[in-house]
Amino acid sequence: MTTVPLASHELKNGLTMVFVDNSKKIAADRWYINIRVEIRIPVQKKWFATGSVDDGEFKAILDTLGEEVIFSQKKERNFISEEAKDKIVKDICNRALQTGLTYCASDTFAARTILKAFRDKSRQHPYHEK
């Protein structure tokens, strides 16, 4: 299996979208294509500039999540011929980038992603030890 950073793109909201190739050869001329799209989001108060989160809530978010949240998506294709591999990898990256330039680059993306991660993690541990 390879783990190769293919490209990175700076988004208009200051975050960076990174494409990582985790593809592997599964037969003589066949590939399992696995592209991971990753955006690292520092947990910072600036993402909540609209006042949607007060200082107490932000402290709870920071205590629960730590310094960083990672948004990650996996794009997969299976049993791809050697000849088609590079074109399909390029197509996957181009489509993900187009989505990223609209959805992931929005001013509210970081706050929404952090809040979702906080809700998900809070559901995993609904009772906090005191």
Does 52 score more than 90 pLDDT? no
pLDDT of residue 127: 58
- Token digits of residue 16: 């960076």
For residue 128, is pLDDT > 80?
Answer: no
Residues 89-98 pLDDT 10s: 999 999 999 9
Cβ atoms of 100 and 37 within 8 Å: the answer is yes
Structure tokens at 22: 């985790």
6, 20 contact by CB (below 8 A): yes
> In this predicted model, what pLDDT tens digit does every residue of 24-49 receive, in sequence order?
999 999 999 999 999 999 999 999 98
What does pTM read for this prediction? Answer: 0.88
Residue 71 has pLDDT above 80, yes or no: yes
Confidence of residue 1 (pLDDT cuts 50, 70, 90): low
